[in-house]
Amino acid sequence: MALTIKVDNPTLPKGEEVIIDSLGIAKNGEVTTFTDQEVAGFESKHGAKAAELIANAAYVKIVKEQSNA
Amino acid sequence: MPSVGAAGILGVALEAVSGTYLAPTTFIPFDSESMKWTQENVERRPIRNSPALLGMIKGPGHVEGDITFDCTPDLLIYFLYAARMSVVKTGSGPYNYVCTPTAVAVPTKTMSVTIKRGSEVSGYAGCVVSKLNLKIEDGAFKATVSLLGVSEATQTNPTPTWPTSTVFGAGFYTWEIPTGTPVTDTDKWEFEVDDSAEAQNRITNSIAAQFIAFKENKCSSKVERDFETRAEFDQFKNVTSKSLTMTASTGANNSVAILTPVSFINSYEYNLGGQGDLLRASVEYAHAVNAAGNNYTITLNTTTNIT
């Protein structure tokens, strides 16, 4: 399932890259979409569902979860 | 299931209420940590026709330990806020933080430190920096913060977001002895601020420490230099002070500068160790206060905005 997230970290400048652990790079203040494969790897490495993992990530919010099937 | 260090995660957050745990908002790639809960239980050994231990009485506890990481201003600033320092921020991005010592007994700001080891997550609350050690060796700029905190509890597993800031390496440093005169004969540099913090436990309904108190401050530096003349050795004998500055910078938005305005040489050694040994001087400086009451000033430039 593809995942669209937004990082809104007030301590970092807009556009600064952050690495979301095991998922990929996102830019602060911008919306980033990760592929099915990237999300599957993220869930596999952390052993939990993406929504649950993102809920525990500071300043990161899910914009959209979308099945590509 | 066994686990290795590589799977570890360490995050910090500056606390809104001192001693009240906050989930991490900033994650730190680190080299090692030794954070632990220390509890001073009392052995129960009453006289009762037995020479053995009869039991244990629960004693007070606190958190203590070190964290070593690559020193970059975006991460160091969090620890400086939780140290015995006044931090003045200016600018609108990048931000300039000027950190100078204070004489407070109790920290103005505390932090929560969260560490994931294996599948367990420990949250350490009410942490402050008792000692800060900054070191440049083999080109790498490392920070070691010695923390003391009030309590520990299990916490939920955080999902970290890692910084992408540039770390300092060879070619990014300027070392000035005295300030304004760069020297190129030094290969090891170490700076330390020790505020001798101590956990304060009180008679309460909790085993956690009530707060952390700072005591006497000691600030020093150590360097290894090529020995060419005895000019600095004579300054040691004459107790002559001077200003020293170390700057690490990759640009206007990523720099750390340490100024020690009144530096006395506390120890100066230059010896012949063997036929093939280069003649080096090991110099230790003790940093005294200037007229403004500062024995050091740490200036950071970073895009990180701490509000």
Q: How far is CA B216 from the centre of its chain?
A: 16
Domain, as residue range, for A18: 2-66
Q: How far is A41 from chain B (nearest CA, A)?
A: 14
Residues of chain B with pLDDT under 70: none
Per the CB < 8 Å rule, is A56 touching B306?
A: no
Q: Are B80 and B298 in contact (CB under 8 A)?
A: yes
Query: How many structural domains compose chain A?
Result: 1
pLDDT in tens, A12-46: 999 999 999 999 999 999 999 999 999 999 999 99
The letter for the amino acid at B275 is: Q
Q: How far is B287 from chain A (nearest CA, A)?
A: 33
The torsion angle over the Cα atoms of residues B249, B255, B256 and B258, rounded to 10 degrees, is 70
Q: Which of residues 16-55 of A touch B (CB under 8 A)?
A: 16-21, 25-26, 46, 48, 53-54
Answer whether A3 touches B (CB < 8 Å).
no
Q: Which of A3, A8, A9, A11 is best to mutate for the B interface (most B CBs within 10 A)?
A: A11
Q: Are B118 and B129 in contact (CB under 8 A)?
A: no
Q: Least CB-CB distance to A10: which of B163, B164, B305?
A: B305
Per the CB < 8 Å rule, is A56 touching B164?
A: no
Per the CB < 8 Å rule, is A18 touching B164?
A: yes
pLDDT in tens, B190-206: 999 999 999 999 999 99
Q: Are B261 and B233 in contact (CB under 8 A)?
A: no
pLDDT in tens, B79-133: 999 999 999 999 998 999 999 999 999 999 999 999 999 999 999 999 999 999 9
Q: Are B183 and B177 in contact (CB under 8 A)?
A: yes
Q: pLDDT band for position A68 (50/70/90)?
A: low
